[in-house]
């Protein structure tokens, strides 16, 4: 059966994530209310503006709903900030917003992906920088020594935008994680 994946659709790049997940065979649900998390196997928190996300999530009770959500979660860019220690505290990371400096605020870079020969093109848009990662965080890709793709249990986070290229590998990894999590919970 196709996994049911929610994409938080309050703001930001949710359409691109939805399109990519559909391409990979998932059933996609746009999530705007807490009850829409019921029955989902996974959830994407997309890029956008983290301050706006946090404000809207509080307003709709989605912050608490996400804290009690038991499925796999994928946060990209602003979505990574939302999940970090200083926000929902679901992933043991400390991130700094817009920390790549003005001149390189947005850039692309080839990333080496753990376990893959072919580089992954990372699109960074006013990206957060990971300042510290706890011992349970597994770094899957780095850029100039900073983690840019990481996993902690059922959480996957990327500081770049894998939904903005044609390369589906990061989303495929997320769907693998969703499957693993379903097996764990079954
Ligand atoms: N700069 C944004 C923030 O701090 C994140 C940018 C993005 O998600 N593309 O929330």
The phi, psi pair for 4, rounded to 5°, reads -100, 115
Determine the average pLDDT of the residues in 47-66.
96
- Judge whether residue 118 has pLDDT over 80: yes
Mutational test site, ligand 1, from 12, 14, 44, 48, max ligand atoms within 8 Å of CB: 48
- Structure confidence at residue 186 (pLDDT): 81
Yes or no: say if 50 and 34 are a contact pair by the CB < 8 Å rule: no
Q: What is the pLDDT of residue 146?
A: 95
Q: What CATH code is carried by the domain that includes residue 94? A: 3.40.50.880
Q: What is the pLDDT at residue 133?
A: 98
Determine the pLDDT at residue 16: 98
Percent of the chain with pLDDT over 70: 98
Does residue 125 register a pLDDT over 90? yes
Q: How many domains does the chain have?
A: 1
- Residues with CB under 6 Å of ligand 1 are 47-50, 77-78, 81, 97-98, 125-126
Which DSSP state fits 68? H
Host domain of residue 112: 4-185
DSSP 92: -
């Amino acid at each position: 059966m196709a996994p049911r994946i929610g994409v938080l659709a309050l703001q930001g790049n949710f359409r691109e994530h939805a399109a990519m997940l559909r391409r990979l065979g998932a059933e996609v649900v746009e999530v705007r209310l807490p009850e829409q998390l019921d029955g989902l196997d996974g959830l994407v928190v997309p890029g956008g503006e983290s301050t706006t996300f946090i404000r809207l999530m509080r307003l709709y009770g989605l912050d608490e709903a996400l804290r009690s959500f038991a499925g796999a979660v994928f946060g990209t860019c602003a979505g990574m900030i939302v999940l970090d220690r200083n926000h929902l505290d679901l992933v043991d990371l400390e991130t700094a917003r817009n920390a790549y400096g003005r001149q390189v605020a947005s850039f692309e870079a080839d990333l080496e992906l753990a376990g893959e020969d072919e580089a992954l093109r990372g699109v960074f848009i006013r990206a957060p920088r990971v300042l510290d990662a706890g011992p349970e965080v597994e770094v899957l890709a780095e850029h100039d020594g900073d983690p840019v793709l990481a996993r902690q249990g059922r959480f996957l986070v990327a500081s770049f935008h894998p939904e903005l290229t044609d390369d589906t590998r990061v989303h495929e990894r997320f769907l693998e994680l969703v499957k693993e999590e379903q097996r764990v919970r079954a």
